[in-house]
Copies of this chain bind each other. A is one copy, B any other.
Amino acid sequence: MSASSMEFVSVLISLAAFLFAAWLFSWVKKQPLDNERIIQVSGLIQQGARTFLKREFLVLARFCICAALLIFLFLPSPIWTGSFVPNLMMVIAYLAGTVFSGFAGKIGIEVATIANGKCAVAAKKGISPAFMTGFRGGAVMGMAVVGSSLLGVALVYLLTGDSTICLGFSFGASSMALFAKAGGGIFTKTADISADLTGKVELGIPEDDPRNPAVIADNVGDNVGDVAGMGADLFDSNVASMAAALVMAASLDKLNGQTTFVSMVFCYAALGLLASIIGVLCARIGKNGNPTRALNYSTYVTTAIYIALTAAATAVFGYNWNIWCACIIGLLVGVIIGIATDYFTDDTKSPVHNVAKASHTGPAFTILSGVSYGFISVLPAMFGIGVSALAAYKLCEGLDPTGVHSMEYALFGISMAAVGMLSIVGMIVSNDAYGPIVDNARGLAEMGDLGDEVLDITDELDSAGNTVKAVTKGFAVAAAGLTVIALLGAFMSEVNEAAALYGLEGISGFDVMNPLVFFGMLVGAAIPAVFSAMLMLGVDRNAQRMVAEIHRQFKEIAGLREGTALPEYDKCINIATDGAIRELIPAGLMAIAATVFVGFIGGVQAIGGFLTGNIISGLLLALFMSNAGGLWDNSKKYVESGHEGGKGSETHKAAVVGDTVGDPFKDTAGPSINTQITVVSLVASLMSTLFLTLSIFG
């Protein structure tokens, strides 16, 4: 089957995903919602989320215009050196990347803010309908994300036939992800921390108490951070993995005068989406079923179906089995990393218990033990990513009949391992978006006075969401890790293409004994640390503003404390929104500026080192922060469920400190590092011509 017909099939399957999402959406909409209070509050949440998205899109639009202008002038090569057509196409692809990603995020937010209330009400009828409402709501997001990412990449490639332009689309997705994930992360943690500090700690009122002015902002935050942000993050990783694979597939196809490899990338990606659709359809839960098991079950079903479908396609279309193996190894390693991550954050395992126990001695020991387990938890994932990259490389380096281009084949193998790892991303996003929906449902059930039985059910659904979240986060980081290795290969391809164009010498790698590479590596390694520090300081500053506002409301609004007057929820939402955008921009610009600086100082070799250092330290810190944060969260919950002194004890207070530290770790800084790495990799790839021709020492 030719590549262009496979792109066509990809377009068709993504349209099918949209149809499926529409059906799921209408199913969710049809569920009853009969509680006045819940209708009112979930309306407020929806309105708040829309406000945030609108502001975010407006700022992003300004950012995009600047970026588009720069792209038009300089990328893929300076406009004065040739035709303006590729530059224009690059601009269009870039803007399409932001629009497609934003569109998926918008759909996700809309359904999530409807499904939350419906899920709460459905819980009155039992766990099964509540689960289905939450899960199908999440699946709308999953289908939208994967459908629009595949559709976008396929359309760009179908129309331009140029894989470099796909990098532009990917860069657009990254811009969106930077705003959505880092901005959403700052928003959600600002609100969460402020609500907890003033509500639970100062006033002693329960979580989700409607008297707390930050409570709606907190619920909005779950949606903008975990639904829209996480969706944009995985949209970004998914597109980046496809784009990197396409760059390498196209260059191999050019060598061989065929289109098999490009066709293979689209085929495998489309089958991943198909497998996810089937997986979502398979999700079921019995009357007294276990929601965690149901979520995991559908993940495993998706994995199995994907393996079967790709094997069949490989046999039918005569694709290479070694590449198929690389792809499946990527997928399996991703699942294994997810399970290993789960060990460090699961409340039935010893790390959570040990941190809870250490909290006996005070908050300092909560922190120390959590940091320690977080550090240890990076090993399995780093090892797994290393092994899968190594295996993919070794499987594919021998494929070149001439033996001259074995590295290109090997790098294509790695990029296909990344595609494999991300193949079930539709399922992953569905599971992940399920989390904030049921979390919100729990809050709404409390505000709507639905009774203890309903609260028990929503608690169980929520706890399943937390467990699955840890697994999917490990998965997302691992996938980003493999993708950026592939992007490093894409960067090298881009450099060599530009070198050929300018009659310069190409490069065959980045030697760490080259001082430019080492210099770049040291600087690149520092960037994720500085980036996450800037985000965390942003959360801190923003939370202080919001706490001040909450104090003001309690002082100035008569009857608020007694529950006879309503707080001004929108003020808190505005603070979170403005602050998120204000604090995010310097961090993003810092990362991009560092890349440009190193590139113009040390040229492509320094950038190769920079990307390597950035990947290594980024993976390390992202895994550490995500896992430590999840661990603290679950330790607190473990104590609250009656262990080590239970709620209200000194141990609990210490565990709450851990949770508060962990929140920006796991929801702001940790997952944003993924995006930072991708942004930096894409900036490097897109500017490769400039770095090659204009650097000082390179």
A contacts, CB < 8 Å to B: 197, 201, 358, 361-365, 367-369, 371-376, 378-379, 382-383, 385-387, 389-390, 392-394, 407, 410-411, 414, 485, 488-489, 492, 508-523, 525-526, 529-530, 532-534, 536-537, 539-540, 543-544, 547, 602, 608-609, 612-613, 616-617, 619-620, 624, 656-657, 660-661, 664, 697
Contact = CB atoms under 8 A, between A and B. Distances in A.
Contacts of A543: 361
Given A379-B530, A393-B515, 13 more contacts: A363-B364, A368-B540, A369-B536, A372-B532, A372-B540, A375-B529, A379-B523, A382-B526, A386-B518, A509-B514, A512-B517, A512-B612, A522-B619
B361 A547 contact: yes
Given A362-B197, A376-B530, A617-B617, A386 B513 contact: no
Contacts of A529: 375-376, 378-379, 620, 624
A616 B530 contact: no
A516 B373 CA distance: 27
Given A358-B540, A522-B382, A620-B617, A512 B510 contact: yes
19 contacts: A363-B364, A363-B657, A367-B661, A368-B664, A369-B537, A372-B534, A373-B533, A375-B529, A375-B533, A379-B530, A382-B526, A390-B516, A411-B513, A509-B513, A512-B612, A522-B619, A525-B619, A525-B620, A529-B620
B523 A386 contact: yes
Contacts of A521: 386, 612, 616
Nearest to A358: B540
A415 B201 CA distance: 55
Contact of A522 (B363, B386, B414, B697): B386
Contacts of A520: 386
A400 B556 CA distance: 78
A292 B220 CA distance: 52
B513 A407 contact: yes
Nearest to A196: B364
A389 B376 CA distance: 31
Contacts of A378: 526, 529-530
Kindly name the residue among A410, A488, A489, A616 whose own CB sees the greatest number of chain B CB atoms within 10 A.
A616
A624 B621 CA distance: 12
Given A519-B386, A521-B616, A513 B489 contact: yes
A625 B580 CA distance: 28
Contact of A515 (B371, B394, B519): B394
A513 B513 CA distance: 13
Contacts of A624: 529
A362 to B, nearest CB: 7
Nearest to A364: B660
B661 A526 contact: no
A512 B364 contact: no
A555 B120 CA distance: 54
Given A386-B523, A612-B521, A363 B361 contact: no
A537 B383 contact: no
A363 B365 contact: no
A513 B363 CA distance: 44
A361 B512 contact: no
A344 B372 CA distance: 23
Contacts of A656: 364
Given A376-B529, A379-B526, A537-B369, A361 B544 contact: yes
Kindly name the residue among A197, A513, A514, A616 whose own CB sees the greatest number of chain B CB atoms within 10 A.
A513
A532 B375 contact: yes
A519 B616 contact: no
A665 B457 CA distance: 42
The 10 closest A-B pairs by CB, nearest first: A509-B511, A364-B660, A393-B515, A375-B533, A386-B522, A375-B529, A372-B533, A386-B519, A509-B513, A382-B526
A620 B517 CA distance: 17
B661 A389 contact: no
Nearest to A365: B540
A201 B363 CA distance: 13
A383 B526 contact: yes
A616 B619 contact: no
Contact of A372 (B358, B368, B485, B537): B537
Contact of A697 (B394, B407, B602): B394
Contacts of A519: 386-387, 389-390
A664 B364 CA distance: 11
A334 to B, nearest CB: 15
Contacts of A516: 390
Nearest to A380: B526
Nearest to A381: B526
Contact of A201 (B362, B410, B533, B534): B362
Given A362-B197, A367-B367, A375-B533, A526 B485 contact: no
Contacts of A525: 382, 616-617, 619-620
A296 to B, nearest CB: 26
Nearest to A664: B368
Given A379-B530, A385-B522, A620-B617, A536 B394 contact: no
A209 to B, nearest CB: 20
Contacts of A508: 511, 513
A62 B492 CA distance: 50
A492 B512 CA distance: 12
Contacts of A369: 536-537, 540
A528 B613 CA distance: 15
A375 B529 CA distance: 5
Kindly name the residue among A382, A387, A526 whose own CB sees the greatest number of chain B CB atoms within 10 A.
A526
A421 B516 CA distance: 20
